Structure 1
Amino acid sequence: MNQLQALLAPVLSLASLTDHLQAIVTVLSVVNPAICGLLLAQVEATKTQPKPLADATRAALVILAILVFVALFGMRLLQLFGVSLNAFLVAGGGVLAWMGFSMLSGQNATSSSAEPATVAEASLAPVILFAASPGTITAVISIAVSHTPSAFPITALVAVSIATLIAWLAMWLFARFGASKGNGFGRDMVTRLMGLIVLAMGVQFALTGFTSFTAGG
């Protein structure tokens, strides 16, 4: 009983509740459940037999597993390879910007004709890569380092769990009610708009990391 109280004390204190709320908002902003939902709706619209609930659940579980692992071991891995958070943010922002540019130029929406089974297997990758992007990973690592009173990153894990739950709900709702095959023009416009947002996020992450890195942060 004493061990349970000691574990829950950091979670239930007023200061910790404020930390949890700030961390949840931060992770939600970088995971961006709305865009995750639109991406999954785009994926479901290209399938002959859409499975919104199954695909949303599978994507959410993979995202949760990645972010929980990052919260627990991310900083140690970066230190093991001698990589700073700022350098990781610059490189990761570049990858995210490249993904956004591919979506903006329409390369994402033109590969749905051949090998439908292979496409169905690989189609969740853009959703997962966006939700668990380098920016998200950096944010989770930063929260785990700065808001952890003990060796166990409770605040980061709470934020990751709630953000993933909201993302799962958004993905299922968007995919369930938005996965229509009839409006190809609308899907293409939404994809390009999302690509612009992803591109801007990647540039933002890279510039932030580069500025901090050159400033010696």
Structure 2
Amino acid sequence: MVAGIASFDIRHKCPMSRSTQRCGRPMEDHLQAIVTLVSLVNPMVCAMMFAGLTAGRTGAQRVSDATRAILTIAVVLIIAALAGARILDIFGIPLDVFSVAGGIVLSFIGFTMLSGSRSDNAPDPATQSPDPSAAGATLAPMILFAASPGTITGVITIAAATRSRTGIPLPALTGICVVLIITWVLLMLVARRSKKPKRPGLAHDMATRYMGLIVIAMGIKFALTGYKAFMAG
């Protein structure tokens, strides 16, 4: 999944010693950024996670949850594109170390989903009043999956490799907008499919555990990739 980042490897593809040098043509930069971010964010997996995490909520609540989640992801990725490298430099954190730490956190979230603790403790929707803060907490695994360390690292790499003379990473921002629009549309389709709230059943529990396993695998992959790059450097 992270192989797409290789197209924007600033150490091999785009030396930054010349501020006016660009890698490839603008259209190619935009297309590569879109393809890379689609593979990292994985809108289909996000939609599957959203369906499982919001089981038991009404269609209107799901629409609200989806919009808030997309806005949260957008803020994180846009900040990463505009100032991610500078923020890490301020704290002296290499991208490789950031990927290792983030991968560990992502794996921990996956273990939580795999254990089924969220599903076991889920309240009955029929007796529960709407709570926006609880909805945000429920969607945390999906948000952290979409805006994962691998995604943030990819955004920072793309931004550094395709920054224009004005200093604005247009390909990275374009890729973020396109992939989030795709993800939002898929979440809307899932949200509007719900007719009435019901307590999550066996299918929801199995789907949540399966997605937890995927999140664990992604976290381990990010951590190992960062570790190998750090040791090689």
Do the two structures share a fold, i.e. TM-score over 0.5? yes
Q: Deviations over 1:53-98 (max 9, x none)?
A: 2221121111111111110010000000000000000111111111
1:170 paired to 2:186:
yes
Asked if structure 2 preserves the Cα contact closer than 8 Å seen for 1:47 and 1:120, the reply is no
What is aligned with 1:122? Answer: 137
Aligned counterparts of 1:122 and 1:211: Cα–Cα separation in 2 = 33
Aligned counterparts of 1:215 and 1:71: Cα–Cα separation in 2 = 25
What is aligned with 2:33? Answer: 23
Aligned counterparts of 1:45 and 1:105: Cα–Cα separation in 2 = 17
Asked if structure 1 preserves the Cα contact closer than 8 Å seen for 2:56 and 2:200, the reply is no
**Where in structure 2 are the equivalents of 1:37-52 lying within 5 Å?**
37-47=47-57, 50-52=60-62
Asked if structure 1 preserves the Cα contact closer than 8 Å seen for 2:56 and 2:199, the reply is no
Asked if structure 1 preserves the Cα contact closer than 8 Å seen for 2:65 and 2:135, the reply is no
More helix by share: 1
1:71 paired to 2:87:
no
Q: Deviations over 1:166-195 (max 9, x none)?
A: 111111112322687376111111111111
What is aligned with 1:55? Answer: 65
1:142 paired to 2:157:
yes
Please tell me the root mean square deviation across aligned C-alpha atoms, in Å: 2.4
What is aligned with 2:232? Answer: 215
Aligned counterparts of 1:183 and 1:54: Cα–Cα separation in 2 = 19
Asked if structure 2 preserves the Cα contact closer than 8 Å seen for 1:34 and 1:171, the reply is no
TM-score normalised per structure 1 = 0.85
What is aligned with 2:13? Answer: none
Aligned counterparts of 2:134 and 2:209: Cα–Cα separation in 1 = 20
The one of 176, 179, 186 aligned to 1:160: 176
Asked if structure 1 preserves the Cα contact closer than 8 Å seen for 2:97 and 2:227, the reply is yes
What is aligned with 1:6? Answer: none
Q: How many residues align?
A: 205
Distance 1:72 1:172, change over 3 A: same
Cα offset, 1:121, TM superposition: 4.5
Residue type of the alignment partner of 1:42 = G
What is aligned with 2:113? Answer: 103
Q: Deviations over 1:38-59 (max 9, x none)?
A: 2222233233675222221121
Distance 1:178 1:130, change over 3 A: farther
Aligned counterparts of 1:49 and 1:74: Cα–Cα separation in 2 = 35
Aligned counterparts of 1:50 and 1:187: Cα–Cα separation in 2 = 20
TM-score normalised per structure 2 = 0.80
1:81 paired to 2:81:
no
* DSSP 3-state at the match of 1:71: helix
Runs of at least 5 residues in structure 1 that lack an aligned partner in the other structure: 1-13
Asked if structure 1 preserves the Cα contact closer than 8 Å seen for 2:114 and 2:209, the reply is yes
Residue type of the alignment partner of 1:63 = I
Aligned counterparts of 1:119 and 1:67: Cα–Cα separation in 2 = 23
What is aligned with 2:208? Answer: 191
